[in-house]
Amino acid sequence: MEAVFDTLKIYERLKGADLPESAAKEITEVFKEVIDERLVTRQYLDLRLKELESSIKNDIIKWVAAMLIAQAALISALVKLL
């Protein structure tokens, strides 16, 4: 899940602000690491959403099937009583 952003631009702006080259490189690397660890990509969200939708559909199907069986049992019991 690699995020795309312009590290060179960050580095150049930091150097342009009279920061030493080594400090600018280190700060740029920190930004890159934090963004790579914390940023969620659109592809990842789409994948998780599909998994969630699939899980929800399966749960609904199970619930409806159980309710149909319970309904059939209830109707069967009522018919026997009559």
Separation CA 12–CA 4 (nearest Å): 17
Helices (H), 1-82: 7-16, 21-38, 42-81
Q: Which of 30, 47, 39 is nearest to 4 (CA)?
A: 39
Separation CA 75–CA 59 (nearest Å): 24
Read off the pLDDT of residues 2-39 as tens digits, 9 standing for 90 and up. Answer: 556 788 898 999 999 999 999 999 999 998 888 888 88
> 3-state SS string over 1-14?
CCCCCCHHHHHHHH
pLDDT in the model for residue 61: 95
- Would you list the domain boundaries of the chain? 1-39, 51-82
pTM (predicted TM-score): 0.48
